[in-house]
């Protein structure tokens, strides 16, 4: 299952629109009902309106009625290379809106080489109302 999710993130990365940074990211989000939503980063000439792959996937899912998530796989890197990206602070906060501290974040170079962390580890003491 983890490998499937990483492969879906690798496929999503192909749609990355990242002409400014050149850093291409793909994400695949597994919902608790078993459905998967993918996303890529979408950049903008004004930089600020850019959206990360993780938030693209989460917003796609939430906008279709999904709010319960189990894990997310993230892949990325400059053209032709692969690193294991850690989610930015904004994405961690967005995850914390919908996900438990046990939500699993899979940061992958490829389907064999990845590390995992929970949201609670990456964003301890997150802000909540
Ligand atoms: N980016 C993501 O999409 N996800 C991450 O986890 C790290 C960063 C994007 C934002 C921007 O388009 C590019 O990668 C460089 O920061």
> Could you report the per-residue pLDDT of 59-114, keeping only the tens digit for each?
999 999 999 999 999 999 999 999 999 999 999 999 999 999 999 999 999 999 99
38 lines ligand 1 (CB under 6 A): no
Task: In whole angstroms, give the CA distance from residue 59 to residue 81.
Answer: 27
Closest residue (by CA) to atom 3 of ligand 1? 52
Global pTM reads 0.97
Atom of ligand 1 nearest to the CA of 24: 14
The Cβ-side half-sphere exposure at 23, using a 13 Å CA radius, reads 13
What integer pLDDT is reported at residue 81 of this predicted model? 97
Task: In whole angstroms, give the CA distance from residue 110 to residue 96.
Answer: 26
What integer pLDDT is reported at residue 128 of this predicted model? 87
Q: Flag whether pLDDT at 21 surpasses 90.
A: yes
Q: And the tokens for 104?
A: 């699993």
| Spacing, Cα 16 to ligand 1 middle (Å) | 10
Q: Of the listed 43, 54, 68, 70, which one is catalytic?
A: 54
Expressed in percent and rounded to 5, the helix, strand and coil fractions of the chain are 30, 30, 45
């Amino acid at each position: 299952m983890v490998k499937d999710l990483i492969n879906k993130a690798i496929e999503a990365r192909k749609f990355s629109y990242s002409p400014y940074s050149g850093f291409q990211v793909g994400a695949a989000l597994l919902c608790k009902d078993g459905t998967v939503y993918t996303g890529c980063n979408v950049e903008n000439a004004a930089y600020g309106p850019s959206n990360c792959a993780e938030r693209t996937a989460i917003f796609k899912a939430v906008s279709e009625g999904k709010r319960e998530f189990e894990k997310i796989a993230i892949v990325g890197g400059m053209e032709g290379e692969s690193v294991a990206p850690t989610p930015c602070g904004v994405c961690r906060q967005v995850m914390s809106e919908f996900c438990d501290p046990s939500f699993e974040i899979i940061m992958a170079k490829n389907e064999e080489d990845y590390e995992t962390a929970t949201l609670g580890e990456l964003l301890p003491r997150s802000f909540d109302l």
